[in-house]
Amino acid sequence: MATIVVHVMPKPEILDPQGKAVGNALPRLGFDGFEAVRQGKRFELTVDGEVTEELLGKAREAAETMLSNPVIEDVVAVEVVA
């Protein structure tokens, strides 16, 4: 078993209301020193057996066309985790 992990983040120029709310809450709980927070998504695609180049290619395509919306989000990484 192996896992392909896809990381998706809101585009830098898009305001991230959720991240902003989290960022505002941190100091209230005593977590000082953090300038800003941005919140993204992590997808884990589990594979039965080896991660082939073909499967990785499919995962990249899925990441760009379905798991993210290119209007508001960037795929920042597609990586294999054993």
Query: CA separation (Å) from 68 to 9, 36, 52, 71?
Result: 9, 22, 22, 9
> CA 70, CA 82: separation in Å to the nearest integer?
28
Closer Cβ to another protein, 1 or 66, answer by number: 66
> CA 67, CA 18: separation in Å to the nearest integer?
18
Question: Minimum distance between the CB of residue 22 and another protein, rounded to whole angstroms?
Answer: 11
Closer Cβ to another protein, 1 or 29, answer by number: 29
Closer Cβ to another protein, 1 or 12, answer by number: 12
Contact set with another protein (CB under 8 A)? 10, 13-15, 17-18, 21, 66-67, 69, 71-72
